[in-house]
Structure 1
Amino acid sequence: MGQTITEKIFSAHVGHPVKAGEIIRSDIDMIIGNDITTPISIKAFEESGVKELVNPDGFSIVMDHFIPAKDIASANQAKISRDFAYKHNLKYFFDEKDMGIEHALLPEKGLVVPGDVIIGADSHTCTHGALGAFSTGMGSTDISFGLITGGNWFKVPEAIKVVFSGKPADLIYGKDLILEVIRQIGVDGALYKTLEFTGDTLQYLGMDDRFSLCNMAIEAGAKNGIIAVDDITRDFLKDKNLARQPKEFYSDADATYVQTIEIDVTKLEPVIAYPHLPSNGKPLSQAVHDEIAVDQVFIGSCTNGRLEDLRIAAKILKGKKVAQKTRLIITPATQKISMQAQKEGLVDIFIEAGAVFSNPTCGACLGGYMGILGKDEVCISTTNRNFIGRMGDRSSKIYLANSAIAAASAVSGKITDPRSL
Structure 2
Amino acid sequence: MGKTIAEKILSNKSGRDVKANDIVVADLDFIMGQDGTSPLAIRAFKEMEAKRVFDPSRVAMVIDHSAPSPLQGVSELHHQMREFADEQGICFYDIGDGVCHQLVPEQGHVVPGDLVIGADSHTCTYGAINVFSTGVGSTDLAAGIISGKLWFKVPETFKFVVNGKLPAGVFSKDLILYLIGDVTADGATYMAAEYVGSAIEDLSVEARFTISNMAIEMGAKCGLMEADDKTIEWVKQHSKREFTPVSADPDAVYARVKEYDVSNLEPQVASPHTVDNVSAVSAVAGTPIQQGVLGTCTNGRLEDLRIAAGILKGRKIARGTRLVVAPASRSIYLQAIREGLIETFVEAGAAVVTPGCGPCVGTHNGVPSDGENVISTANRNFKGRMGNNKAFIYLASPATVAASMLTGRITDPREYIN
TM-score range, shorter chain: over 0.9
Task: Give the secondary-structure state (helix, strand or coil) at the position aligned to 2:260.
Answer: strand
Pick aligned residue for 1:285 from 266, 282, 285: 282
Name the aligned partner's letter for residue 140 of structure 1: S
Match of 2:244 in 1: 247
CA distance in 2, matches of 1:140, 1:180: 32
CA distance in 2, matches of 1:420, 1:201: 23
Counterpart contact for 1:194–1:224, Cα < 8 Å: yes
1:95 paired to 2:94:
yes
Counterpart contact for 2:267–2:412, Cα < 8 Å: no
Q: Which region of structure 1 is more displaced relative to structure 2, 171-180 or 150-159?
A: 171-180
Task: Give the secondary-structure state (helix, strand or coil) at the position aligned to 2:237.
Answer: coil
Match of 1:174 in 2: 172
Match of 2:74 in 1: 74
Cα deviation for residue 179 of structure 1 reads 0.7
Q: Which region of structure 1 is more displaced relative to structure 2, 411-420 or 110-119?
A: 411-420
Match of 1:110 in 2: 108
1:204 paired to 2:218:
no
Task: Give the secondary-structure state (helix, strand or coil) at the position aligned to 2:2.
Answer: coil
Name the aligned partner's letter for residue 59 of structure 1: V
Match of 1:372 in 2: 367
TM-score by length of 2: 0.98
CA distance in 2, matches of 1:390, 1:397: 9
TM-score by length of 1: 0.97
Q: Where do 5+ consecutive residues of structure 1 fail to align?
A: none
Counterpart contact for 2:97–2:329, Cα < 8 Å: yes
CA distance in 1, matches of 2:315, 2:284: 22
Q: Which region of structure 1 is more displaced relative to structure 2, 158-167 or 170-179?
A: 170-179
Task: Give the secondary-structure state (helix, strand or coil) at the position aligned to 2:381.
Answer: coil
Name the aligned partner's letter for residue 335 of structure 1: R
Name the aligned partner's letter for residue 107 of structure 2: K
CA distance in 2, matches of 1:419, 1:21: 45
CA distance in 2, matches of 1:138, 1:273: 26
Superposed CA offset, 1:266-325 (max 9, x none): 02111100111110000011122xx10000000000000000010000000001001001
Match of 2:295 in 1: 300
1:143 paired to 2:141:
yes
Cα deviation for residue 394 of structure 1 reads 1.3
Pick aligned residue for 2:260 from 236, 260, 263: 263
Cα deviation for residue 419 of structure 1 reads 3.1
Superposed CA offset, 1:186-215 (max 9, x none): 111000001100001122100111000000
Counterpart contact for 2:168–2:414, Cα < 8 Å: no
* Number of residue pairs the alignment of both structures matches: 416
Superposed CA offset, 1:47-95 (max 9, x none): 11111111221101111111111110110011110000011122x1111
CA distance in 2, matches of 1:392, 1:149: 36
Name the aligned partner's letter for residue 297 of structure 1: G
CA distance in 2, matches of 1:325, 1:193: 43
Match of 1:26 in 2: 26
Pick aligned residue for 1:127 from 110, 116, 125: 125
1:83 paired to 2:83:
yes
CA distance in 2, matches of 1:420, 1:6: 41
Superposed CA offset, 1:140-165 (max 9, x none): 00000101111000000000000010
Cα deviation for residue 404 of structure 1 reads 0.2
Cα deviation for residue 420 of structure 1 reads 2.6
CA distance in 1, matches of 2:333, 2:362: 22
Pick aligned residue for 1:358 from 353, 370, 373: 353
Counterpart contact for 1:376–1:393, Cα < 8 Å: no
1:337 paired to 2:332:
yes
Counterpart contact for 1:374–1:392, Cα < 8 Å: no
Question: Structure 1 stretches (4+) deviating beyond 3 angstroms?
Answer: none
Match of 2:322 in 1: 327
Match of 2:377 in 1: 382
Match of 1:403 in 2: 398
1:224 paired to 2:216:
no
Name the aligned partner's letter for residue 225 of structure 2: I
Q: Which region of structure 1 is more displaced relative to structure 2, 296-305 or 41-50?
A: 41-50
CA distance in 2, matches of 1:86, 1:16: 36
Cα deviation for residue 226 of structure 1 reads 0.5
Give RMSD over aligned pairs.
0.9
Task: Give the secondary-structure state (helix, strand or coil) at the position aligned to 1:293.
Answer: coil
Task: Give the secondary-structure state (helix, strand or coil) at the position aligned to 2:9.
Answer: helix
